Chains A and B, each alone.
Chain A
């Protein structure tokens, strides 16, 4: 058997998603971003919305997200992706808009923007990558860093007295009547990836149906800054992150409508 007999369309079991560009990703080996990018590319292709989708990239490791998926993108300032997405979707209500953010971007510097966009029920999708650390700047404490977790700015572990507590922002967001679908997923095993893909697809479908804000958190690893091998990082995530950030849907308005607020009489 020769090589050309093996590399043959009939034997194809896996290929690059069509909407991923040819650019080589800059992510570290073992990073979750690449997996989630692929899922996004697949979902956008599957829903056939490439010509009306606008992505908003954050500041953080995924600052170059716009290099990897074959759609229109805007690069936002640190934490402001939800405001940028609001501006796009309010003036282009028939487009499909998503903001892609990390934990420092979304849950620290951009807390006001994400809470208020979700509270207004802005019609876009939020993909929230939570790896409990600042990746791009070299492993500093994030708002989601666990108590006791070692980072470059908490060398002896995060201390609640000094640093406060890890922020469960997704639980907060699930309380807001503007959100329709709020879920927490991971992407570290084939089964988890399949579920995560379904969640992302569902979030995009909610946006197409103009149901308000859909929010998908993906609990992720940062093996480089956690100073672990990718395999070890996945184990550490399961052992330490999942108990504090449990996987599953928090809100699904396709099952129950958001709480109704009756206006005061003028």
Chain B
């Protein structure tokens, strides 16, 4: 099984680190992984995206034309990546900041109120973990314990005290996923 994911939003939303934790979770689950970011000046406040691939086999191209799953966190990314979801694939978005919701009828669409939930949790920085939780509900590609191990691996030990809060955010996201359209 291979899962090809694009995560796209603004720089500062934690797009790249969310992809990194997902990739690390895949490593913990003994999968092949690749994490390929957009990089350079555009990272500083502009749009940021990362392609994460999890697979049981050798991963070929980290650059893709179409994705099994698109996690979309701003309007520019919706415009760019909605057409690139494979038919029957998954699109997850946070409606905060989205003016034009997705129109495709041949894909599964979910939304997650990530911004709201993170605010309720009292730490907006957990936004990306909320979204990760929602994704794992829609696509259980890795187990929760792999995510915990992934967090331990990817965070420097001085930040390990933040792991319980992050796991709580993942749990809230998992619970908060809303189905918009199923095909």
Chain A in direct contact with chain B (Cβ < 8 angstroms): no
Chain A interface (Cβ within 8 Å of chain B)? none
Residue ranges of B at the interface with A (Cβ–Cβ < 8 Å): none
